[in-house]
Amino acid sequence: MPLLQDKIVLVTGAGAGIGRAITLAFAHEGARIAAADIDPAAASRVILDADAGNTGIAIEADCGDVGSINAMIEKVVGEFGRLDVIVNNAGVTRYSYIMDLTEADWDRIHRVNAKGVFFCLQSAARQMIQQFEADGSNGRILNMASISGRGYPGASNAAYAASKGAVIALTKMAAQQLGRYNINVNAICPGVTRTELGDRNAVGRAAARGITVEEMRAEQERTIPIGRANTPDDIAAMAVFLASAGARNITGQSYNVDGGLVPS
């Protein structure tokens, strides 16, 4: 039997990159998917690509807006009757030197990466607590952090690193306070990962150093002990495991998926 047969799973930022890979992997494992993205066309495409047209839904959602977050959870529960797993993947960044960051940069990044993750977690947990009190069921919350939140010097910028450090701390605190309701809370900390967002940042990084994107990528991979960057599927595999029965006693943890780049 697939690992996540008939589990109701919500993935935010599902339209591209890591979120898309997670959505496809969960659908492959039998989950019923709600794919949320600020770009509704991207959310709809991933549902079609997952061959989940009869069992999944696409949701337009702004994960930096609490009203939109609550409406997203309500839509999932209205459609499926429950929520078993949420993957808080939506995030934003840009490449910038610390002295060039503005208040607008800080607010934009933390609005989604820190505030958004918290209120997605809280809104999902509210539903999962109701389910636990009704039938004793288990809930899973997966937060997308980053090795940038552990001090990785190659972070896109300091505000992004701070937002991901906040996710790691939130994961620990939430696991302690929600465990009594049979809710597991864990985080994934991707390392260098080849995504559309990463590709856009790579252009700025390479230009700032006066090298080509290809040269910069080769240099990055030489620093990774295992010798290769992640693909989004590497992150999706960890997400599937943490949502599965095999991870039932794992909570409050933040796992690096980075080829050994940064010590945990």
Q: CATH number of the domain that 41 lies in?
A: 3.40.50.720
The three-class DSSP label of residue 89 is coil
Q: Is there a single domain that holds both residue 182 and residue 117?
A: yes
Q: Is there a single domain that holds both residue 176 and residue 208?
A: no
Which member of 95, 97, 160, 181 is catalytic? Answer: 160
**What type of residue sits at position 230?**
N
pLDDT in tens, 57-83: 999 999 999 999 999 999 999 999 999
213 located within any domain = yes
Provide the pLDDT for residue 53.
62
Provide the pLDDT for residue 1.
83
Q: Is there a single domain that holds both residue 151 and residue 223?
A: no
Q: Is there a single domain that holds both residue 120 and residue 169?
A: yes
pTM over 0.75: yes
241 located within any domain = yes
Q: What CA–CA distance (Å, rounded) separates 22 from 213?
A: 26
1 located within any domain = no
pLDDT in tens, 115-143: 999 999 999 999 999 999 999 999 999 99
Query: Could you list the residue range(s) of the whole structural domain that residue 187 is in?
Result: 8-193+234-257
Q: Is there a single domain that holds both residue 171 and residue 202?
A: no
Domain count, the chain: 2
Q: Is there a single domain that holds both residue 61 and residue 169?
A: yes
Provide the pLDDT for residue 52.
63
Active site (annotated) includes residue 181: no
215 located within any domain = yes
Ranges in the chain, pLDDT < 70: 52-53
Crossing angle, helix 196-209 and helix 17-28, to 10 degrees?
A: 150
Q: What CA–CA distance (Å, rounded) separates 18 from 244?
A: 18
Q: Are 230 and 264 in contact (CB under 8 A)?
A: no
Q: What CA–CA distance (Å, rounded) separates 110 from 120?
A: 14
Q: What CA–CA distance (Å, rounded) separates 190 from 68?
A: 26
Q: Is there a single domain that holds both residue 70 and residue 200?
A: no
Q: Is there a single domain that holds both residue 160 and residue 215?
A: no
Closest by Cα among 69, 71, 38, 161 to 109: 161
263 located within any domain = no
Q: Is there a single domain that holds both residue 100 and residue 222?
A: no
The three-class DSSP label of residue 49 is helix
Provide the pLDDT for residue 201.
72
Q: Is there a single domain that holds both residue 222 and residue 115?
A: no
Query: Residue holding tokens 């796992």?
Result: 255
